[in-house]
Structure 1
Amino acid sequence: MNIRGNSRRGLTGSTVGFFFGFAAVALYGPTAVKFKEAMDLTPALVGLLIAIPALSGSLLRIPFGASVDTNGGKKSFLILMLLSVIGLGGVTLLLFTSYPDGMKGMYGLVLTFGFLSGCGIATFSVGIGQTSYWFPRNKQGMALGIFGGLGNLAPGIFSLVLPVFLTYYGFISAYFAWFLFLLVGTILYGIVGVNAYYFQYRKAGVPEAKAIEKAREKGQEIFPAGSIKDSLLLSAKVKNTWALVALYFTTFGGFIALTAWFPTYWAEFQGFNSVKAGLYTAVFSILASVLRVPGGSVADRFGGEKVALLAITAILISTAALSISHSVPGSVFAVLLLAAGMGFANAAIFKLVPVYVPNAVGGAAGWIGGLGAFGGFALPPVMGTIAGAFGAVGYARGFLVFVILALINVLILAFLLRARNSRLVEKIR
């Protein structure tokens, strides 16, 4: 029986897949004006086009995250990445053949391709489940921090590279380059990605009890409880799943939302040009992503709840400062604190998934990753509405949304900490 891979390869594969899966999300915002001009779109239609990859990338996390409990993750990864390749390839072909004069009446098709392009973002919840099955509980934070941190670098790097690429090579060439990038990434994941031992034994026809026994001998600690439906239902019945959803809505949904929002904030409120706005946005995105790596290890050592509580307090303070700051240095300092808070919070929250929902990690990852990432779709329009109501200063006042969410999150974490401490006291007694 050919059982392949180890935890290091499993983590490498899932991280590579997630990084490449994020390829399309950076394109639509900076290039939306081109579609607006070619198809004569209203601001509302432009907003929907920008947000549509985040919509599919969040909602599809729920069923695909749960599917890891039945197939181990590799099949789900490849399906999502291939759908994203089709979407990005489709819009690239459409631009080559029809832009700009033949784009009238093509909005529905562009929207469909945008929806498909966002499927790669949903690889996050698949990777969370796949990585969790590879590692013992005492190394979950470290492994998931590396997965989320390095995989999450994609939006920041693209925010930095894309304005320069558009300046030198043009609009359509950017879509073609990103399509090739995603295609190469899909092939690379297909070669490197590998399921945890239990799923390999089951695929080889080994009975479930024997597969668990053999996988345990190789060091695997976490095992699935049943079907996709079982995993979703079981995790949905755990009330703390929904507490983690609320936390992740603010931290990861907020991360996606702010990666889209900051270029507008720096340009409209601080008066930066597009390249400078992209650079400052990249600093936020890359720092938040990189800090997920040590954030996972810190959560392993001090506990996910405590680290998340401190991190969300940092989010509260920094967004309150951004909502009133007019100076560039003050805003930059607040953004750096915000990036640190989001990086550590995201790592700490997913450290808690195998702790609170050990029998349905995939289902929980689906709910938390999917509904949490929905913040990336829901929050920018709210911030935009605030900006529209207050004029130029509204681009700063929009951060008040995060102040309110952070306050709610602090209360949730205080409840989780109290409940966990109560359980520990009961155990001692």
Structure 2
Amino acid sequence: MPKREEVLKRYGIRGSPTTGLIAGTIAFFAGFAAVALFGITVHTVAPLLHLNIIEVGWLVAIPLVTGALLRIPFGALVDNVGGRRIILTQLIIAIIGMIGLILTLHAILTHSIGSSILGYALLMLFGAVAGTGISTFASGIAYVSYWFPQRRQGYALGAYAGFGNAAPGIFTAILPYALAGLGLIGAYTAWAVFLVIMTAVFTIIGYDAYYFQLVKRVGHNEAERLAKELGEELIPSGSAIRSLSESARIWRTWLLVIMYFISFGGFEALTEWLPTYWTNYLSLGIAMAGFMTGVVYSLITALMRVPGGWFSDKWSGERVAIISYIILVIGSIIMMLSHNFALSTVGTIVMAIGMGIANAAVFKLVPKYVPEAVGGATGWVGGLGSAGGLLIPPAMATFVAIYGHVGYALGFMIYTVFGSLSIIFAIILYWHEHKHK
């Protein structure tokens, strides 16, 4: 019996890189689906609660508050205890939030809540709790990273994030039809059931990488030696605080945070904001707005991460990042100039291509630059970077409040500015890489 098989059998090691990738993707796909819910259903709830455009902007952003901020501790904790327990905890919290949302929506629709302020506060509260599912991104990135060697990081993380990010696109596209067929409560209940089922699937097939399984049996030093024999290249620091502090001391981490703020945080923001843009700026129906957001934008963005990861493996994450952010800026300028459906469609697709590839390129660079603290770096980049999803929708709503109808187009200036800044940062990383070869 080969030595590898002997080690696996002797220590009862379960799982493989392939099953790890599948399990992590399933968990992220299920958890991330929450981001699509408020963007569509807010149009049903907002009139009942008499919400203005700023309040709508904050409501669609609220799942991203916890979805972003909780990525920092949860991502770092993977270095300490492995991803399995962390991801399960996040999904269970998301289920609790979904139950709270269902009960709150039922109370609003049946007028059991007499105060619109109370209804709004409860939606914000349970939306934040449900948004914990979105934070599975960071823990999942670290979870998958430990399963794969550096040369396959682009492929693995591109596939993980690409298919996982497809959730908002798919759900945004089908949600209008679910609302028509099942009603608001039925649609939310169906998603909650889906989340429970996917959590059960992850429980069955999701195992931590070799080191985390071995360290429970033989201690750190021996676990590290055996894990490396089995092909695991990344070994965690073993402490969440240490992982966060080590990654925070590396200046490149902070360039990646800003780059991710506009590519992935911006992706989350537009998944929530575009239904409002399409319906209010270009007067599309809710079903068509869902299709344009879910399929034409969100799904394309998500799936572009898959080839984006392959491009990053082949031509380096730095080069791919430079090109992808240039594409993003071009798309944002088109959106700023657009006042009709055709031009907005072109701009949306261009932005989707650039953002999807950029997201893959950034996370190709995370384990490359911070191999000793992947969980911590993932937490910073995924958490603070995702804050774009929290801050951008209210900022775009502010453009509308200040400039009126044209503000829907002018708001895309945010993507032009931060996209240009990201091009500069990607060039700095490219220069740094070649200087130290």
Quickly name the TM-score band, shorter chain normalised: over 0.9
Q: CA deviation at 1:49?
A: 2.6
Output the CA distance in 2 between the equivalents of 1:17 and 1:152.
11
**Structure 1 residue 409 and structure 2 residue 428: aligned?**
no
Deviations 1:331-363 (A, max 9, x none): 222211111101110001000001100000000
Q: 1:260 to 1:314 in 2, by over 3 A?
A: same
Aligned-partner Cα distance in 2 for 1:326–1:157: 26
State yes or no: 1:217 paired with 2:229.
Answer: yes
Structure 1 gap segments, 5+ residues each: 425-429
What does residue range 6-405 of structure 1 map to in structure 2 within 5 Å? Answer: 6-96=16-106, 99-103=109-113, 104=115, 105-203=118-216, 205-282=217-294, 283-405=296-418
Compared CA separation, residues 383 and 193, structure 1 to 2 (3 A): same
Q: Partners in 2 of 1:393 and 1:24 — Cα distance?
A: 29
> C-alpha offsets along residues 4-48 of structure 1, whole Å, 9 cap, x if unaligned?
011000100000000001122211222224443444445544433
Shift of 1:298: 0.8
CA gap 1:159/1:393 in 2 versus in 1, 3 angstroms? same
User: Post-superposition shift, 1:382?
Assistant: 1.1
- Farther-moved stretch of structure 1 (342-351 vs 325-334): 325-334
Is contact 2:61–2:272 with CA below 8 Å preserved after alignment? Answer: no
Letter in 1 for 2:69: L
* CA drift at 1:270: 1.9
Q: Residue 230 and residue 386 in structure 1: after superposition, are their counterparts in 2 closer, same or farther (change >3 A)?
A: same
Q: CA 1:288–1:46 in 2, change beyond 3 Å: closer, same or farther?
A: closer
- In the alignment, the residues of structure 1 paired with residue 119 and residue 424 of structure 2 have an alpha-carbon distance, to the nearest angstrom, of 47
What percentage of aligned pairs have identical amino acids?
43
**Which amino acid counterpart does residue 332 of structure 1 have in structure 2?**
T
- Give the match's secondary structure for 2:197: helix
Taking the aligned partners of 1:281 and 1:45, their CA distance within structure 2 comes to: 21
Q: Which amino acid aligns with 2:24?
A: S
Q: Distance in 2 between matches of 1:289 and 1:33?
A: 24
For residue 139 of structure 1, give the secondary structure of its aligned residue in structure 2. helix
Deviates more, 1:214-223 or 1:28-37: 28-37
Partner AA of 1:257 in structure 2 = A
- CA distance 1:267–1:108, change in 2 (3 Å): closer
TM-score, scaled relative to structure 2: 0.94
Moved more, 394-403 or 131-140: 394-403
CA deviation string 1:60-114 (max 9, x = no partner): 0000000110111011100000000001012213434563311233443332211
Q: Secondary structure at the match of 2:218?
A: coil
Letter in 2 for 1:19: F
Question: Secondary structure of 1:101's match?
Answer: coil
Q: Which moved more, 1:47-56 or 1:97-106?
A: 97-106
Contact 2:104 2:119 in 1 (8 A): no
Whole-angstrom distance in 1 between the partners of 2:74 and 2:176? 32
Tell me the CA shift for residue 226 of structure 1: 2.9
Amino acid at match of 2:248: A
Q: Would you say how many aligned residue pairs link Structure 1 and Structure 2?
A: 423
Change (3 A) 1:291 1:42: closer
After superposition, what is the alpha-carbon deviation per residue over 1:370-396, rounded to whole angstroms, capped at 9, x for unaligned?
001110010111111112222222211
> In 1, Cα distance between the equivalents of 2:122 and 2:405?
34
* Cα distance in 1, alignment partners of residues 44 and 112 from structure 2: 13
In the alignment, the residues of structure 2 paired with residue 135 and residue 286 of structure 1 have an alpha-carbon distance, to the nearest angstrom, of 26
Aligned to 2:435: 422
Structure 2 CA distance, aligned partners of 1:323 and 1:39?
31
Quick check: 1:23–1:181 contact (8 Å CA) kept in 2? no
C-alpha distance 229-251 of structure 1, shift in aligned 2 (>3 A): same
Between the aligned partners of 2:107 and 2:408, the Cα distance in structure 1 is: 37
Native 8 Å contact 1:38 1:100 kept in 2: no
1:275 aligned partner, one-letter code: A
Deviations 1:211-231 (A, max 9, x none): 011111111000011300000
Other structure's SS at 2:15 match: coil
Between stretches 293-302 and 34-43, larger displacement belongs to 34-43
Q: Which residue of 1 aligns with 2:7?
A: none
1:2 alignment partner AA: G
- Sort the Cα spacing of 1:268 and 1:111 in 2 relative to 1 into closer, same or farther, 3 A: closer
Give the direction of change, closer, same or farther, for the CA distance of 1:418–1:153 in structure 2 (3 Å limit).
same
Preserved CA contact (<8 Å) 2:332 2:415:
yes
Mark the CA change 1:160 to 1:390 in structure 2 (over 3 Å): closer, same or farther: same
